[in-house]
């Protein structure tokens, strides 16, 4: 364990690119929007950014830098699950000088008041993952969002008129969970389940940086409802507008 952390610390002094990102230092903006699907990152770049330039295509994980209303911003995929987002966000925070990462993703609702297309702002992130063990803390770490980003995102949702809720999410290691106990998470007030927030928040805390996860409800765990691909594209645009308002 000590070897792993020492190796990472040493790597921060080395030049980019990395094994997972072909960008060199300076090609990635201080603020990065990230989506699990690299095609969604490409969609954001092509439809929202001015003059986007691709900085990464290693492993198909597309990344682009452009401007939004004159401000530099990058967008990049992070893949599925905690191990994947753990790698990409660690490198962005520690190797590329990124200060803020905003995840724009999808989630399954545990909350009866959250309907398909609604937004969830993850104030905190529970997890069934062991990712936090690497930090060797004498207890359980509670991963949370940056409050300023969270507050501004909530204000933006109000301004745009988008229905949203703020609260806890579950970052699960398993998409196909054979022993799901969603009712227990619901009883504890957890709003939705996704697969990445806790690792992003832990990496941000360790690096002294800022992070926020916002998700669009794409399906409902309790009712079985699910959005069509067309509905996903339209509703996810709302989330992108909120995220870009924070740049």
Give the integer Cα–Cα distance in Å for 115 and 226.
10
Cα–Cα–Cα angle for 55, 61, 67, rounded to 5 degrees = 40
Sign of CA dihedral 74, 80, 84, 90: positive
pTM: 0.92
* Cβ atoms 74, 31 nearer than 8 A: yes
Q: Containing H/E element for 42?
A: helix 38-48
| Domain boundaries defined on the chain | 2-244
24 DSSP 8-state letter: P
One digit per residue, the tens of pLDDT, for the chain of length 247 reads 333 344 444 445 456 899 999 999 999 999 999 999 999 999 999 999 999 999 999 999 999 999 999 999 999 999 999 999 999 999 999 999 999 999 999 999 999 999 999 999 999 999 999 999 999 999 999 999 999 999 999 999 999 999 999 999 999 998 887 665 568 999 999 999 999 999 999 999 999 999 999 999 999 988 889 988 777 766 689 999 999 999 9
19 DSSP 8-state letter: S
Q: Containing H/E element for 51?
A: strand 50-56
Give the CATH number of domain 2-244. Answer: 3.40.50.1580
Give the integer Cα–Cα distance in Å for 5 and 182.
34
By annotation, the residues acting in catalysis are 219
Give the integer Cα–Cα distance in Å for 161 and 26.
36
Count the Cβ atoms, other than its own, within 10 Å of residue 205.
18
């Amino acid at each position: 364990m000590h070897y792993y952390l020492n190796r990472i610390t040493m790597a921060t002094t080395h030049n980019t690119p990395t094994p997972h990102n072909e960008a060199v230092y300076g090609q990635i903006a201080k603020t990065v929007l990230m989506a699990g699907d690299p095609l969604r990152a490409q969609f954001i770049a092509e439809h929202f950014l001015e003059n986007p330039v691709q900085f990464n295509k290693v492993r198909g994980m597309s990344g682009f830098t452009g401007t939004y209303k004159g401000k530099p911003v990058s967008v990049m995929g992070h893949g599925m699950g905690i191990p994947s987002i753990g790698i990409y966000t660690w490198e962005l925070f520690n190797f590329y000088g990124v200060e803020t990462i905003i995840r724009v993703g999808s989630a399954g609702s545990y909350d009866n008041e959250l309907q398909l297309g609604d937004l969830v702002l993850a104030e905190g992130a529970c997890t069934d993952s062991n990712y936090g063990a690497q930090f060797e803390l004498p207890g359980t770490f509670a991963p949370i969002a940056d409050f300023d980003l969270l507050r501004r995102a909530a204000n933006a949702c109000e301004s745009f008129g988008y229905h949203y809720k703020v609260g806890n999410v579950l970052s699960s290691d398993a998409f196909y969970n054979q022993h799901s106990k969603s009712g227990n998470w619901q009883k504890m007030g957890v709003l939705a389940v996704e697969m990445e927030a806790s690792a992003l928040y832990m990496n941000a805390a360790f690096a002294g940086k800022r992070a926020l996860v916002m998700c669009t409800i794409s399906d409902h765990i309790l009712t079985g409802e699910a959005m069509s691909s067309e509905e996903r594209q339209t509703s996810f645009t709302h989330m992108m507008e909120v995220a870009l308002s924070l740049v």
